[in-house]
Amino acid sequence: MSTFGKLPAPSDAQAPPDTRAFVIDPASPILLFDSGVGGLSVLAEVRKALPDAPIIYAADNAGLPYGTKTEAQVAARVAGLLGRMTERFRPRLVCIACNTASTIALGMVREVLEVPIVGTVPAIKPAAAMTKTGTIGLLGTEATIRQGYVDRLEGEFAGGKRLLRAAAPELVEAAEARLRGKPVSTDVLARGADRLRALPGGDAIDTVVLACTHFPLLEAELAEAFGPDVAFVHGAPGIARRIAFLTQGQSFVRAEPDSALFTGDDQDVAALGPALSDHGLTRIHFL
């Protein structure tokens, strides 16, 4: 049975039926989407919450990095690619496992696609609950830190706190390299930390929002760079809970091995094999 097709309107029946369990094809995957390997930090949490869920992990490696692109470029890529991917793979749910894409294009993509879409937005709310000094750091891409979406989260959840933002594009490259088994220099990690600390009031930061899904892949190294008095927070556990909630009652059957899908057939993709299979993605294919 098809995954899609609208659920009957509640008025079609006496009581709104819980149709989720029988209209969704059990083999229909959850599709996670990022510009690169960052979304694997989200996938790791989704696996813990839903170990039986069939997964397609999609990386727009031909468009990486998103963080240096304009809003129009990111929105066009994300909407176009997700349109193609949802048509081809018929996912039951899409997770945009990328802060840059979500803060720019989540609303727009939700308007044009019928599939439920879960986004990834900076974890400012939990950070505001954690900070003792009242000063929160936020590390993201250049594009994410300038978004009105982040201003709105700050206004809504971090009233009375200070939120200092810095871009750390080199950490995206570092995470991509690390998952390809290449060494990552400690200088690169220190630069991200220093940029945030160098902002006025930056030495009071005790909580850092990792507002790019690539960054939790370097959390151990970032902890060294920031020192023991700084805690990190990111959105992946909350996203996994949200996906589990939205798919509750649905059955899952893994009819084929979980796979990683890439938009560009660059030679580097092969080097990701071990990291992908560590995340349960045992097949690689190209769009």
Residue numbers at the binding site for ligand DGL (CB under 6 A): 34-36, 38, 64-67, 98-100, 141, 144, 172, 212-214
**Cβ 68 to ligand DGL shortest distance, Å:** 7
**Cβ 200 to ligand DGL shortest distance, Å:** 25
**Cβ 36 to ligand DGL shortest distance, Å:** 6
**Cβ 232 to ligand DGL shortest distance, Å:** 14
**Cβ 13 to ligand DGL shortest distance, Å:** 41
Active site residue 95: no
Measured distance CA(99)–CA(66) in Å, rounded: 10
Catalytic option among 37, 40, 55, 98: 98
Catalytic option among 212, 222, 239, 281: 212
**In this complex, which beta carbon is closest to ligand DGL, that of residue 38 or of residue 54?**
38
**In this complex, which beta carbon is closest to ligand DGL, that of residue 232 or of residue 252?**
232
**CB 57, CB 260: distance < 8 Å:** yes
**In this complex, which beta carbon is closest to ligand DGL, that of residue 77 or of residue 92?**
77
Measured distance CA(182)–CA(175) in Å, rounded: 9
**In this complex, which beta carbon is closest to ligand DGL, that of residue 23 or of residue 239?**
239
**In this complex, which beta carbon is closest to ligand DGL, that of residue 176 or of residue 258?**
176
Active site residue 98: yes
Catalytic site positions:
98, 212
